[in-house]
C-alpha cells in the first residue's frame, strides 16, 4: 500500500470521525478517563512517596535513637520492694562519652535536652521548646543556617547565653528587624540570637505519624547552657531525694541522730532523673544499625545497673515499612488505572463494531468502486487510532489538571512525571490499534453486493 493510498484512507477516516462527533466522543470517553486516572493517580502516589522520602531525611536513615523512659519494675508477689528496687543514674552525658569511645563505626552523636518553655519579646509571649544541643545536632538532623553562625567552641564550653532560632520564631518576633545580635527571653534567661535556621516544611501527617515536632518554632542553645543556666537533672537535690526515697530523722540520747531511708510508695509518680532527653547515634553504614543498637543496649543496661530505663529505636524499620506500603499503594493505583484503560479499549471495540453494522452500505459502496480490503481495514484502524490518540491527549490534560486540583484543594503534594504521561499516552494509542483490528477486519469481510442491498 503506497503513501497516497494511506493518506486517502486517513482523510476518509477523519471525515467519518468529524461527521459523527457525538459517537466519536462517547467512544473516546473510556480512554479519556483511563489516561486521566493513570496520570492523576500516579502523581498522587509519587507525591506521597516523595513526602515519605522527606520524612526519612528528617528522621535520618542511619540513625539510632535512644530515649529515656520510666524504669520497668518486675517484682514477684511477696518480694520486698527494697530487694527488687534498683538505682539507675539515668541517661546522661557520661553515657554518650562511653558509647563514643567504646563502639566503633559511629559517625556522629547528638545528645539533646528538651525543655517546654516560653518566649517573651515586646510584650508577646509564646510557648516554645528550648533544645540544648551540640553542633553535631544540625548535621545529623540536616539543618542549614539561613543567616548568622553556629556555636563556637568557647560558647559551648562556658555555656554562653546564646541561641539559634527557627524561621517561624524570626517571623513571629523579628518580623521587621534582623534578629542577629538581638536578645530574646527564653524562660527565665535572656539569650542572644546568633543564627537563624532555614525554614523546613513538615506536613501534619509527619508530625502525627512520626512524632516529628515543628522545628521552625524551636530555640536551640548549647547543651552546657541548659545544664548551667536552666536545669541539670544529674545533680542530687533535696527535692529529688524526697521524690525517690522517704527520709526520716531520729535523734539519739547524746545529741546524735540517725537517718533512715525507705523506698517511695507506689502511689508516688516517678520524676525525670535523666540528664538528657534524647540521644541520636548516626552510624556510617546501614548494615551496622542492628549490631550497634544491640551493643548500645547491653552497655547502657550495664551502666544503669541492670535497670532498663531507656528505649532504643531504629526509625529505618518503620520508614521502610511505610515505603513498602506506599509502593503497594502505587501498584494498586496503576492497576486500577490500567483496568480503566482496558475498559476504554473494550468500549472502542464495541462501538466500532456497532459502527460497522451502521455503515455496511458505505463499506459496500467503497468496495464496489474499487477499494481493496486493506483500504477498508486501514480506514477503520485510522478511525480507532485517531479516537484513542485524541482521547489520550484530552486525558493527559484532564489528568494534569486533576493532579494540580488535588494539590491545591486538598493541600496534598502531587508529583507529575513525564514517564507517566508518556506511558499513558502510548498505552492509549496502542489500545486503539489493538481494539480497532477486529472491527476493521469485520468491515473488510463484508460482501459488496450484500452490503449495497442492506437497508
Q: Which residues of 306-337 are buried (b: 16+ CB within 10 A; e: fewer)?
A: ebbbbebebbbeebeebbeebeeebeebbeeb
199 in the same domain as 285: yes
The last residue of one of the domains, among 308, 334, 352, is 308
Strand-pairing partners, residue 249, are 259
In the chain, what percentage of residues exceed pLDDT 70?
A: 79
d(CA 24, CA 395): 15
Full domain range(s) for residue 433: 3-56+320-453
159 in the same domain as 284: yes
433 in the same domain as 340: yes
pTM for this model (two decimals):
0.55
User: Counting Cβ atoms within 10 Å, is residue 430 exposed (0-12), middle (13-18) or buried (19+)?
Assistant: middle
What is the count of structural domains for the chain?
A: 2
pLDDT tens across 206-235, in order? 555 555 567 888 999 999 999 999 988 877
Residue 48 is assigned to a structural domain of this protein: yes
pLDDT tens across 28-68, in order? 887 788 788 888 888 887 787 777 666 665 666 678 888 88
Residue 81 is assigned to a structural domain of this protein: yes
78 in the same domain as 52: no
330 in the same domain as 211: no
302 in the same domain as 167: yes
Residue 249 is assigned to a structural domain of this protein: no
Residue 391 is assigned to a structural domain of this protein: yes
Strands 183-186 and 106-121: antiparallel
The last residue of one of the domains, among 256, 284, 308, is 308
pLDDT bracket for residue 180 (50, 70, 90): very high
d(CA 271, CA 356): 84
Residue 262 is assigned to a structural domain of this protein: no
Question: Residue with C-alpha cell 546524735?
Answer: 256
47 in the same domain as 74: no
| CB neighbours of residue 424 within 10 Å | 24
188 in the same domain as 39: no
115 in the same domain as 224: yes
Greater pLDDT, 414 or 223:
223
Residues 425-445 have a mean pLDDT of 76
Would you say 2 and 363 are in contact if contact means Cβ atoms under 8 Å apart? Answer: no
Residue 244 confidence (pLDDT): 47
Residue 62 is assigned to a structural domain of this protein: no
pLDDT tens across 266-300, in order? 445 567 788 888 898 888 777 788 888 899 999 99
179 in the same domain as 74: yes
The last residue of one of the domains, among 258, 286, 308, is 308
Residue 226 confidence (pLDDT): 92
What ranges make up the beta strands (E) of 135-203? 145-148, 162-165, 183-186, 189-197
Residue 25 is assigned to a structural domain of this protein: yes
167: its cell numbers = 524561621
349 in the same domain as 400: yes
395 in the same domain as 336: yes
d(CA 299, CA 312): 12
- Top mean-pLDDT range of 256-265, 343-352, 393-402, 418-427: 393-402
Residue 122 is assigned to a structural domain of this protein: yes
Amino acid at each position: 500500500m503506497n503513501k497516497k493510498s494511506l493518506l486517502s484512507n486517513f482523510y476518509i477516516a477523519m471525515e467519518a470521525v468529524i461527521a459523527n462527533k457525538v459517537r466519536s466522543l462517547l467512544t473516546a470517553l473510556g480512554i479519556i478517563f483511563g489516561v486521566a486516572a493513570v496520570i492523576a493517580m500516579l502523581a498522587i502516589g509519587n507525591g506521597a512517596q516523595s513526602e515519605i522520602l522527606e520524612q526519612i531525611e528528617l528522621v535520618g536513615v542511619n540513625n539510632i535513637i535512644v530515649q529515656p523512659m520510666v524504669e520497668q519494675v518486675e517484682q514477684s508477689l511477696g518480694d520486698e520492694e527494697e530487694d527488687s528496687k534498683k538505682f539507675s543514674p539515668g541517661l546522661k552525658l557520661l553515657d554518650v562519652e562511653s558509647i563514643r569511645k567504646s563502639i566503633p563505626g559511629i559517625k556522629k552523636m547528638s545528645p539533646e535536652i528538651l525543655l517546654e518553655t516560653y518566649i517573651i519579646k515586646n510584650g508577646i509571649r509564646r510557648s516554645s521548646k528550648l533544645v540544648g544541643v551540640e553542633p553535631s545536632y544540625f548535621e545529623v538532623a540536616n539543618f542549614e543556617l539561613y543567616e548568622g553562625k553556629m556555636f563556637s567552641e568557647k560558647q559551648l564550653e562556658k555555656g554562653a547565653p546564646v541561641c539559634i532560632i527557627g524561621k517561624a520564631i524570626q517571623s513571629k518576633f523579628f518580623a521587621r528587624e534582623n534578629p542577629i545580635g538581638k536578645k530574646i527571653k527564653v524562660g527565665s534567661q535572656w539569650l542572644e540570637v546568633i543564627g537563624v535556621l532555614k525554614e523546613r516544611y513538615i506536613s501534619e501527617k509527619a508530625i502525627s505519624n512520626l512524632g516529628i515536632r515543628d522545628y521552625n518554632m524551636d530555640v536551640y542553645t548549647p547543651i552546657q547552657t541548659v545544664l548551667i543556666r536552666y536545669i541539670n537533672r544529674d545533680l542530687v537535690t533535696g527535692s529529688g531525694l524526697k521524690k525517690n526515697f522517704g527520709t526520716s530523722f531520729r535523734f539519739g540520747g547524746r545529741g546524735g541522730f540517725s537517718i533512715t531511708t525507705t523506698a517511695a510508695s507506689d502511689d508516688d509518680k516517678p520524676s525525670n532523673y535523666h540528664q538528657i532527653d534524647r540521644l541520636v547515634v548516626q552510624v556510617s553504614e546501614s548494615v551496622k544499625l542492628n549490631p550497634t543498637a544491640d551493643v548500645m543496649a547491653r552497655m547502657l543496661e550495664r551502666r544503669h545497673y541492670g535497670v532498663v530505663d531507656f528505649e532504643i529505636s531504629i526509625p529505618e524499620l518503620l520508614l521502610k515499612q511505610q515505603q513498602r506500603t506506599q509502593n503497594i499503594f502505587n501498584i494498586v493505583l496503576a492497576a486500577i488505572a490500567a483496568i480503566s484503560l482496558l475498559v476504554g479499549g473494550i468500549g472502542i471495540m464495541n462501538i466500532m463494531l456497532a459502527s460497522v453494522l451502521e455503515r455496511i452500505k458505505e463499506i459496500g459502496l467503497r468496495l464496489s468502486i474499487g477499494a481493496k480490503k486493506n483500504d477498508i481495514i486501514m480506514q477503520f484502524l485510522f478511525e480507532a487510532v485517531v479516537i484513542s490518540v485524541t482521547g489520550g491527549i484530552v486525558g493527559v490534560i484532564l489528568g494534569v489538571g486533576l493532579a494540580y486540583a488535588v494539590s491545591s484543594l486538598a493541600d496534598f503534594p502531587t508529583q507529575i512525571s513525564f514517564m507517566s504521561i508518556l506511558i499513558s499516552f502510548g498505552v492509549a494509542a496502542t489500545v486503539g490499534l489493538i481494539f480497532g483490528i477486529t472491527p476493521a477486519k469485520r468491515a473488510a469481510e463484508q460482501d459488496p453486493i450484500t452490503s449495497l442491498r442492506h437497508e
